Amino acid sequence: MVAEAGVSGLISRVLRDYLCYHIYEVEPVKALGGLVKVNMNVAVPKAVLVPKVQSSWYKQVDIVPGNTNGPLFSFGVIDMLEHVVCVWNEGIDRSARDQLPGLLAMLLRDIENKESTVDNSSGSGTESESEELGVKSNKSPRSSQLSRQSMLLHRLVALLCSMLPHEAVQRSLVGEGLNAVMDMVLDDHRNSLAMLSALSSQKIYIAEPLIASGFLIKLIGTIQTHMENKEMENVAMMFRTFVRFMKSSARTNQLLLDEFKRCNGYRFVLHLVSNFQTSPLLLDDVLSDLRDLVFIGPGLELAEKSMEQVGNAHVLYLARNTPAFAVHCILLFRLELKMVVEGSAAHSRIEEYLSNAMDCIQGEECILQQLEEDIEGESFLLSLLDSVLTIYSSNPVNFGLLDEQFNLMSGLLASLGALIVIPDDVVFVILKVRCLFCPSSRVLIFCSC
């Protein structure tokens, strides 16, 4: 539980420093009450927007975390904290130095977990306060109080999310503050995606603490829970946000990417993609995110800078993460094995290539047996082939780099002569890839077919 005195004391100090910095003469700051009294007869910097609201509705305290008796937040406090973060040049660094982001995260987590209670005494005058504001409302005092509380919570979430991308803020999240942020991401709060997206917007500076806490394993578990519950839209959204998170971490170092492989993350991705084969619209989105994962790795930040400076888009789409491409290969090889004649030479070659791809993600035989039962369908095969074609086309280097390691094209071509049924669309895509990247082999391929 957040200690009320610790939060209130810190907020009061940050706000008081901010006001003293910007305003010549300030009456005592009453931060917990949500009312900052300013002498309006003196100059006030234009950037500082101090609301001049006389109604007690504005001053009223709405958020009381857990079972504590004291108030912590009101609209006035949130207003001033927003100005500290967004207007004051030193606001982010000062807030981080005082560990304000971590305390805000703990407060928000406690409110989310306990569905914070509302102080009935503060809501007793709601109707008269609404009339004072010139607003007639048919809502009960209780519902009006909850509405205000919801508004405050949204603003608190937005405030914390605006702070999370900054290096100083991330590095200030130690101990319970970091745990609070991770809890909100992992425990399926309604703000979990917002928190993860905020962390993913620029760079990740706290890879070591995240690894030490087992964050990636827990995040994978959270997404798997959604899969088991067949909440596939949520799974797709979380996977997209996760890929952006990994991309942000790769701009700083490769620690989280290496940790993802160590904790069998690509086995998880393999099952995740196979679960979307019956949802074509969602499958396209998931494969797009999987392609993005292929392009994440060493040199990403330099490639982004090169893109900005000289407009060279190819460098962004270099295949840096071969285990992510191995997921494509494994799924394609499994589908091919189910379609070719068992015992044929092509079947043996594809099994060999499949084993090589499984080694890349540290896969096991039990995974193959489950995939054999789970995946099927020409449309799934075409979607995977289209994704591979996109990867190869994104950078001319990718075909030689990836096909030399995984023999994907050799396996696909070998399967053409041994397919029980040869779908025209599948043949067209395979030949299109081969003709684009090995033009000298065109005549031989068409003759052999």
Q: What's the number of CA atoms in the CB half-sphere (13 Å) around residue 225? A: 9
Read off the amino acid at residue 173.
L
The answer to whether 44 and 35 are in contact (CB under 8 A) is: no
What Å distances lie between residue 42 and 16, 25, 27, 38, 329, CA to CA?
Answer: 17, 7, 12, 9, 70
Kind of pairing between the strands at 73-74 and 35-38: unpaired
Q: How far apart are CA 65 and CA 59, in angstroms?
A: 18
The answer to whether 18 and 83 are in contact (CB under 8 A) is: yes
The answer to whether 258 and 207 are in contact (CB under 8 A) is: no
Note the maximum CA span of the chain: 92
> For residue 428, which of 386, 387, 372 has the smallest C-alpha distance?
386
Q: How far apart are CA 35 and CA 74, in angstroms?
A: 8
Burial label, 53 (beta-carbon count in 10 A; 0-12, 13-18, 19+): middle
Per-residue pLDDT, 223 = 92
Q: How far apart are CA 268 and CA 383, in angstroms?
A: 19
Q: How far apart are CA 387 and CA 367, in angstroms?
A: 22
The answer to whether 335 and 372 are in contact (CB under 8 A) is: no
Angle between helices 378-394 and 396-406 (to 10 degrees): 130
The whole-model pTM stands at 0.76
Read off the amino acid at residue 421.
V
Q: Which two tokens stand for residue 321?
A: 């993460």
What Å distances lie between residue 169 and 163, 364, 369, CA to CA?
Answer: 6, 41, 46
Question: What does the pLDDT profile of the chain (449 residues) look like in tens digits?
Answer: 444 445 556 666 666 666 655 543 334 334 333 333 433 333 333 333 333 333 333 344 444 444 344 445 667 677 778 877 877 778 888 888 888 888 888 888 877 776 544 343 344 444 433 333 333 445 555 555 556 777 778 888 888 999 999 999 999 988 888 998 998 888 766 678 888 888 888 899 999 999 999 999 999 999 999 898 888 999 999 999 999 999 999 999 999 999 999 998 999 999 999 989 888 889 999 999 999 999 999 998 888 888 877 777 788 899 999 999 999 999 999 888 887 777 788 888 999 999 999 999 876 555 655 655 566 677 888 899 899 989 998 998 999 899 899 998 888 877 776 665 666 677 677 767 666 666 554 434 433 33
Q: How far apart are CA 202 and CA 156, in angstroms?
A: 21
The answer to whether 6 and 12 are in contact (CB under 8 A) is: no
The answer to whether 270 and 367 are in contact (CB under 8 A) is: yes
The answer to whether 11 and 80 are in contact (CB under 8 A) is: no
Q: How far apart are CA 366 and CA 372, in angstroms?
A: 10
Q: Which two tokens stand for residue 87?
A: 């207007």
Per-residue pLDDT, 7 = 57
Q: Which two tokens stand for residue 147?
A: 């509405």
* Residue 64 per-residue DSSP state: B
